[in-house]
Amino acid sequence: MLPIENDTPLDFHFDHHFCPSHDVVFSLTFTNKSLFSRLCSAVYDKQIVIAGEPLSQAAILYVFSRFLAVSGTDEAEAFLADFQSNELGRELVLMYNKLIASYQELEEIENSPYYTQRLTEAQLDKARAEAEAKGEAKGEAKGKAIGAKMLVDLIKKGFDPDTALKMIEEDASVLRFEGIK
């Protein structure tokens, strides 16, 4: 955990590109074991005491959510005003400032294959939709094949094609009742 003096004035060195919720900044922020364990503890709904500050899950999720929602200098200033005396809030700002101080390293990480070759949320949504459509098409084709087999079986049993089609359309349980598989 970073040493924190609660009475020392604190600045939030906000950067519009590398805001707190940016993938690289988020990933590096939570490589800090103390911050990561607090985030996990908050998610798992446990009462947590941080250096004499008893905080509930809601209070911790609120500090984290406010920090990660900072997307401009006005929000950064508002976060400082609200959480400058809060140990977790101060630690998040100090960690963020430390990360932003190494701007070139953040750019190198952002441009690394790990980050450049990942799919965006929009790309993931498109891939999911395509996979779902492909699955539905396969299911529909399989259903048609099964229906065709049932139609042939019913005709072999002596039903006329129109009656057999109606039976398939109305209720597949009729086919089971007749012993056709």
Q: What is the pLDDT of residue 165?
A: 72
The answer to whether 48 touches 77, Cβ cutoff 8 Å, is: no
pLDDT at 96: 93
Residue identified by tokens 């430390």 is 98
pLDDT at residue 181 in the model: 47
Taking the model in full, what pTM does it have?
Answer: 0.54
Q: What is the pLDDT along the chain (181 residues), one digit of tens a residue?
A: 445 556 677 889 888 888 888 888 888 887 777 777 777 777 766 655 555 555 566 777 788 889 999 999 999 999 999 998 888 899 999 999 999 998 899 899 888 887 777 767 777 778 778 877 777 777 666 767 777 777 777 778 887 777 777 776 665 544 455 555 4
> What's the pLDDT at 72?
93
55: left (phi over 0), alpha (psi -120 to 50) or beta: beta
What are the sequence ranges of the domains in the chain? 23-118, 122-177
Q: What is the pLDDT of residue 48?
A: 55
In sequence order, which residues have a C-beta less than 8 Å from that of residue 14 and are 6 or more positions away? 70, 72, 73, 76, 100
For residues 153 and 133, what is the distance between their CA atoms, to the nearest angstrom?
Answer: 30
